[in-house]
Structure 1
Amino acid sequence: MSKPHQITAIKGMNDILPPDSARWEWLEHVVRRVMAAHAYRNVRTPIMELTQLFTRGLGEVTDIVEKEMYSFQDRQDKHGDADHLSLRPEGTAGLVRAVAEHNLLYDGGKRLYYLGPMFRRERPQRGRYRQFHQVGAEALGFGGPEVDAEMILLAVALWRELGITNWRLELNSLGQPDERRQHRAALIAYFEQHQEQLDEDARRRLHSNPLRILDTKNPAMQALVEGAPKLIDYLGEASQKHFAAVQAILQASGIEWRINPRLVRGLDYYNLTVFEFITESLGAQGTICGGGRYDYLIEQIGGKPAPAVGWALGVERVLELLREEGVQVPEPAPDAYAVITGADAVAPAMRCLQALRAQGVAVQMHAAPGAGDAGMGSMKSQFKRADASGARYALIFGADELAAGEVTVKALRDGGGAQVRQPLADPAAWAGSLKSPADSKH
């Protein structure tokens, strides 16, 4: 019988395995702590939505909808009808759909956040995958510039908690729809006069979404784009006042930024303030967080009109940036490792370990290395594994200890190998001495 070929993961969709998964868990823990400090509450939405949510919310002529979504037709029901479904390519549209569907704003604005996997069918490369993960923060029901600034300061607080220092903040204002229409007309007229300099993408977008031409990465078009009409010159008094207020709050908070008139973001739902956090450490994938105000999205997907602002960051890119900046992420390790000298010690040892775990002590138990092994291995080999586990203590369940109703606690990291015996009958009485200093703070 021939051996079946090995099945591997889909290209661009990665397994996250120990020890790397510990970095993810640490980052998620920091995110939750920072969100809680700013009174943002977690929302979890399905990874699959009706395709219409994204075509209506993100815009039919965006790259995501045109090229990158994983979309398919569901099975037909008894009437022959079938829904068109898509794996979510981003998190805001689904969150806004949930807010509208469940009328979450009935009693006022909400500060919410999400984290989880997103899906886009694009060419996998460093920091860009087909299944990738985002953290997003959204404040809905608030229209003032102070919430735009709060959203930016929330991201800054997260960078500080993570230990990331290599970033810069870029700002722009997209104004309101009527102001963008005037700018759009000026853009089309400008680019029509220089059609011979436009690449294929720019020609395709010229009449459908000319604002996206400003975001081109084509070096041959940079001079042309630099000379294009700037949206900021078309802003009315109210939009200018809103943008100035955001900048004043950032300045008062000691945050540096620069205005980038070409910053347009990739989705159609933005208005007024838009922003990006950019790093020079990740090459082409330099944007680690981006967002802005989207006051019309809730109404676009069928909800009651309400203002909103938010951002999303790429988890993979942030983890890569942590590596580039040399940020030390805590490695998980048990408080103690159980060294078991014989089969007779297994049952009393496990009873003791369960009691210790109930007191919040993390304990790793030694086990026989293979199926059918008669013994637990030599003391030397067990201590070697105990040391490799990172545990601060070894718990020795030997014949002498069991005969005395005790367990030996030996220091592996501090105390120069000092050891003391503790009673097996009452693990709760000495469990606290095994906890790491970090555990005692919580």
Structure 2
Amino acid sequence: MKTIQALRGTRDILPDETPLWQWVETTARDLLQRAAYREIRPPMFEQTQLFERGIGEATDVVGKEMYTFEDRGGRSLTLRPEITAGLVRAVNEHKLTAQGSVLRLWHVGPAFRYERPQAGRQRQFHQLDVELLGSRDPRADVEVIAIATTLLQTLGLKSLTMDLNSVGNGDDRQRYRDALVDFLTPHKADLDVDSQNRLTTNPLRILDSKDTKTQEIVQAAPSLLDFLSPDSQQHFDQVQQYLTDLGIAYNLNPRLVRGLDYYTHTAFEIQSADLGAQATVCGGGRYDGLIAQLGGADTPAIGWAIGLERLTLLLKQLAVEPSTAMDVYIVSRGEATAGKALQVAQALRQAGLAVEMDLSGSAFGKQFKRADRSGAVLCVILGEAEAEQGTVQLKWLTSGEQSEVSQTSLTQAADELVQKVRQAQQAT
């Protein structure tokens, strides 16, 4: 019988990889908690109209990439293609924002898009999502950008650059859209097919087309920055000044529009050159109209998302590997030692040590080899003689020193043993 395999565009994150993912998530959680962000966990599927209204029916995400299905009740449901729309739905439904209040939220989890799988991009992918709702202050824009930058640097990425733009408000974009269409229409026949279609549905998306000939044409297109209203320009100027004050470098990129319709004002992408070529690891911006558009109060907001597949790929290339070593490895042999080994393992784990108990029943020599490979600094040895005498042998794998103690004293003085283990780890 043929073995069933994972679907194309999905992949198993195996035990050798999960420590890296856990470390990224723990690092992010600690940083976000220090910055007063709280976790929210919305569902992974929603009513289809949420994404059609929120993301925009003319976007590639809604038009080509969503996993949409009809449930047994005849309702159209969609696996979330991104996280922000569902998060905003939850905020509206549960009335989490109040007039004048600021809400800081984060979420990590999978999203789904039907697109061509490639390195760092899957049909089921994972995002870390950060949102700040309730403030129009340019400092909110800079706060979320600074958190993203700090997180990526803390994780070990160094060759980071940031592209920054303002897409203005709705009126700004409409004026620019008209000017862009006027400019591109005479060149329509020379645009790629997707861009030709976007000319009437979503012309701003033509700016980030990957087609070489289209890119040559848009280089001479009007700049969105020339169409900002005085208020939009003032907001953008303040964002740039605050970034400069924090020492966060950026490149002005008037072609940066992001792929979703709900963006307003500040838009940004953070790239890493650590793979030898620019790769976007974080993207986001303002979406001041989305909450009202989805039925809530008029509430400004800004946020970003980091794709964890691409981020962990970068970290692997940089050989960033969190330690998965055990503190203690327990070696035992013989029926009389089985229960005692369990008791020792339980006591040491409760004391806060990472303990692996060998369950192979193989000869001591093979068990000792596995103890060395585990990365533990201490090996606890239980043989027939130790079981009979009520003792254990302690072998410090870093120095080779070995001693015998009673099983009772080992479990009763577990806290003292923890200190000795930590000292041995520091010494190495």
Q: What's the TM-score, normalizing by structure 2?
A: 0.95
Are 1:324 and 2:308 counterparts?
Answer: no
Aligned to 1:92: 84
Q: Does structure 1 retain, via aligned residues, the 8 Å contact 2:64–2:114? A: yes
Between 1:293-302 and 1:272-281, the stretch displaced more is 272-281
C-alpha deviation, 1:422, in angstroms: 2.7
Q: SS at 2:201's partner residue?
A: coil
Partner residue of 1:417 out of 397, 400, 422? 400
- Counterpart Cα distance in 2 of 1:433 and 1:154: 38
Partner residue of 1:176 out of 161, 169, 173? 169
Q: SS at 2:9's partner residue?
A: coil
Are 1:395 and 2:380 counterparts?
Answer: yes
- Counterpart Cα distance in 2 of 1:285 and 1:74: 41
Q: Does structure 2 retain, via aligned residues, the 8 Å contact 1:393–1:434? A: no
Equivalenced residue count is 423
Are 1:347 and 2:339 counterparts?
Answer: yes
- After superposition, the C-alpha distances for 1:256-288 in whole angstroms (9 at most, x for unaligned) are 111000000000000000000012344777111
Identity %: 46
Q: Does structure 1 retain, via aligned residues, the 8 Å contact 2:131–2:303? A: yes
Aligned to 1:153: 146
- After superposition, the C-alpha distances for 1:314-345 in whole angstroms (9 at most, x for unaligned) are 1011111112233x322312211111021110
Q: SS at 1:12's partner residue?
A: coil
Would you identify which runs of 4 or more consecutive aligned residues in structure 1 move more than 6 Å?
438-441
- Counterpart Cα distance in 2 of 1:13 and 1:159: 25
C-alpha deviation, 1:388, in angstroms: 1.5
Are 1:34 and 2:31 counterparts?
Answer: yes
Q: SS at 2:50's partner residue?
A: helix
Partner residue of 1:118 out of 98, 111, 115? 111
- After superposition, the C-alpha distances for 1:2-59 in whole angstroms (9 at most, x for unaligned) are xx21000011110011211111111111111111121111111111111111000000
Decide whether aligned partners of structure 1 residues 431 and 404 sit closer, same or farther in structure 2, where only a CA change above 3 A counts.
Answer: farther
Aligned to 1:365: 357
Between 1:417-426 and 1:149-158, the stretch displaced more is 417-426
Between 1:16-25 and 1:262-271, the stretch displaced more is 16-25
Aligned to 1:166: 159
Aligned to 2:417: 433
Partner residue of 1:287 out of 280, 299, 303? 280
Partner residue of 1:43 out of 40, 51, 62? 40
One-letter amino acid matched to 1:419 = Q
- Counterpart Cα distance in 1 of 2:388 and 2:202: 80
- Counterpart Cα distance in 2 of 1:116 and 1:220: 37
Aligned to 1:250: 243
- Counterpart Cα distance in 1 of 2:27 and 2:416: 25
- Counterpart Cα distance in 2 of 1:24 and 1:145: 32
Are 1:378 and 2:370 counterparts?
Answer: no
- Counterpart Cα distance in 1 of 2:130 and 2:159: 21
Aligned to 2:53: 56
Aligned to 1:372: none
Q: SS at 1:193's partner residue?
A: helix
Aligned to 1:23: 20
Gaps of 5+ in 2: none
C-alpha deviation, 1:96, in angstroms: 0.8
- Counterpart Cα distance in 2 of 1:324 and 1:166: 13
Q: Does structure 1 retain, via aligned residues, the 8 Å contact 2:351–2:414? A: no
Aligned to 1:143: 136
- Counterpart Cα distance in 1 of 2:225 and 2:266: 11
Between 1:89-98 and 1:417-426, the stretch displaced more is 417-426
Decide whether aligned partners of structure 1 residues 332 and 248 sit closer, same or farther in structure 2, where only a CA change above 3 A counts.
Answer: same
Q: SS at 1:425's partner residue?
A: helix
Decide whether aligned partners of structure 1 residues 283 and 222 sit closer, same or farther in structure 2, where only a CA change above 3 A counts.
Answer: farther
Decide whether aligned partners of structure 1 residues 55 and 385 sit closer, same or farther in structure 2, where only a CA change above 3 A counts.
Answer: same
- After superposition, the C-alpha distances for 1:285-312 in whole angstroms (9 at most, x for unaligned) are 7111000000000011111110000000
Q: SS at 2:6's partner residue?
A: coil
